[in-house]
């Protein structure tokens, strides 16, 4: 079984109240791939420029991520994003987005990438997501992430892309923006009418909620004392969530399995935010993931006993 991901492969410049990096490896597909690599074979599809070299590829290869479908565009520059966070780490400002090699990208997947079991359409221009979706006919589960930029400038394309997937993962503010529906449960119902049977609302430091045909499930974020840089948390969440599903091909892809996947997404996201960019997840160990999932199970369960309530 294998997972294919298309999305940004980037250099990020990030400032948070706790420090800054002028140029670090990032991109939605990179954060996703590192997280998902703990569960299954992952193939990354996307272009990079001359400025993307061995040190960046080495981070992916150290986690045995397949990089054969990373296309080097001679003379091009890699996607670049600059963002800044204030004290509320749920609220970030994008200061610069340079599509660079993504502007003329026409994805051509290798047979191995096309043959994936699970496909993740990470955040990128929705027409590119659709082109990749069309090439992966065999995938048994396709999830899609996006962002406010594409809701604003490519809404129709994004709606078409959403109609072709099984699962939509968005920040809750973006879900409201997309559906023009202030209530999350109703927004999710609307999305499910468009096609996806699973909707995941990412809620930053408050965790994530999921709506399927069988109902609602939510987990808080793992309680951390130190958060340094939330960049890529959503993609690491997706990597844990989707990766877990890929690693369980013989189990029905139902509400119960999806709930378990939510715990792995939450654990991966929690490690991502502890340091800048990919720094923490790049040296994460499987036992650390298992430890946080067990701890999450403990802190989210409680005992109910009958209680006499007053009229
Ligand atoms: P997240 O924090 O999970 O939303 O993802 C952060 C990553 O998204 C960063 O590493 C950026 O390189 C990437 N990113 C930011 N803006 C865009 C965009 N417009 N399209 C694709 N990727 C983006």
Q: Is residue 307 part of a domain?
A: no
Distance 174 CA to ligand 1 centre (A): 14
* Shortest-distance atom of ligand 1 to CA 79: 12
48-97 pLDDT per residue, tens: 999 999 999 999 999 999 999 999 999 999 999 999 999 988 889 999 99
249-293 pLDDT per residue, tens: 999 999 999 999 999 999 999 999 999 999 999 999 999 999 999
CATH number at residue 228: 3.40.1190.20
Q: Is residue 304 part of a domain?
A: no
* Shortest-distance atom of ligand 1 to CA 233: 3
Say what the pLDDT of residue 224 is. Answer: 96
pTM: 0.97
pLDDT(1) > 80: no
- In this structure, what token pair is assigned to residue 268? 């991966």
Spatial strand order of the sheet with 167-171 comes to: 70-72, 41-48, 2-6, 118-121, 141-145, 167-171, 198-202, 208-212, 215-219
The mean of the pLDDT values for the chain is 96
pLDDT(308) > 90: yes
Q: Is residue 45 part of a domain?
A: yes
Distance 311 CA to ligand 1 centre (A): 52
Residues lining ligand 1, Cβ inside 6 A: 8, 10, 12, 26-28, 81, 97, 123-124, 147, 149, 231-235
Q: Is residue 311 part of a domain?
A: no
Say what the pLDDT of residue 157 is. Answer: 98
**Are residues 109 and 45 in contact, defined by beta-carbon separation less than 8 angstroms?**
yes
Q: How many domains does the chain have?
A: 1
Q: Is residue 309 part of a domain?
A: no
**Are residues 190 and 181 in contact, defined by beta-carbon separation less than 8 angstroms?**
yes
* Residue entry with tokens 């529906």: 181
Average pLDDT over residues 305-310: 96
Distance 27 CA to ligand 1 centre (A): 5
Q: Residue with the nearest Cα to atom 16 of ligand 1?
A: 81
- In this structure, what token pair is assigned to residue 196? 């996806």
Distance 30 CA to ligand 1 centre (A): 10
Average pLDDT over residues 123-138: 96
Task: List the domain range (segments joined by +) for residue 195.
Answer: 2-299
Q: Is residue 310 part of a domain?
A: no
């Amino acid at each position: 079984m294998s997972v294919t991901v298309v999305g940004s492969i980037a250099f990020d410049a990030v400032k948070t109240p706790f420090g800054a990096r002028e140029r670090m490896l990032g991109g939605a597909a990179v954060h996703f791939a590192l997280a998902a690599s703990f569960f299954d074979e992952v193939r990354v599809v996307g272009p990079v420029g001359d400025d993307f070299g061995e040190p960046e590829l080495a981070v992916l290869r150290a986690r045995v991520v397949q990089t054969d479908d990373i296309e080097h565009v001679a003379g091009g520059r890699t996607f670049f994003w600059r963002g800044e966070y204030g004290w509320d780490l749920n609220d970030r400002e994008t200061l610069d987005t340079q599509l660079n090699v993504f502007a003329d990208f026409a994805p051509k997947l290798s047979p191995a990438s096309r043959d994936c079991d699970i496909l993740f359409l990470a955040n990128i221009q929705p027409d590119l997501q659709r082109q990749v979706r069309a090439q992966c006919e065999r995938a048994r589960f396709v999830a899609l992430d996006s962002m406010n930029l594409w809701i604003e400038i490519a809404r129709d394309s994004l709606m078409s892309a959403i109609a072709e997937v099984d699962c939509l993962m968005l920040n809750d503010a973006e879900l409201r923006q997309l559906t023009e529906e202030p209530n999350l449960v109703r927004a999710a119902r609307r999305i499910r009418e468009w096609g996806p049977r699973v909707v995941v609302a990412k809620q930053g430091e408050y965790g994530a909620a999921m709506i399927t045909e069988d109902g609602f499930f939510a987990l808080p974020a793992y309680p951390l004392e130190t958060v340094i840089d939330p960049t890529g948390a959503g993609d690491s969440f997706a990597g844990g969530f989707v990766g877990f599903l890929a690693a369980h091909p013989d189990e029905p892809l139902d509400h119960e399995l999806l709930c378990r996947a939510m715990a792995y997404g939450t654990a991966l996201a929690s490690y991502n935010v502890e340091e800048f960019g990919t720094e923490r997840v790049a040296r994460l160990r499987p036992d650390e993931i298992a430890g946080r999932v067990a701890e999450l199970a403990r802190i989210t369960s409680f005992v109910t006993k009958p209680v006499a309530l007053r009229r």
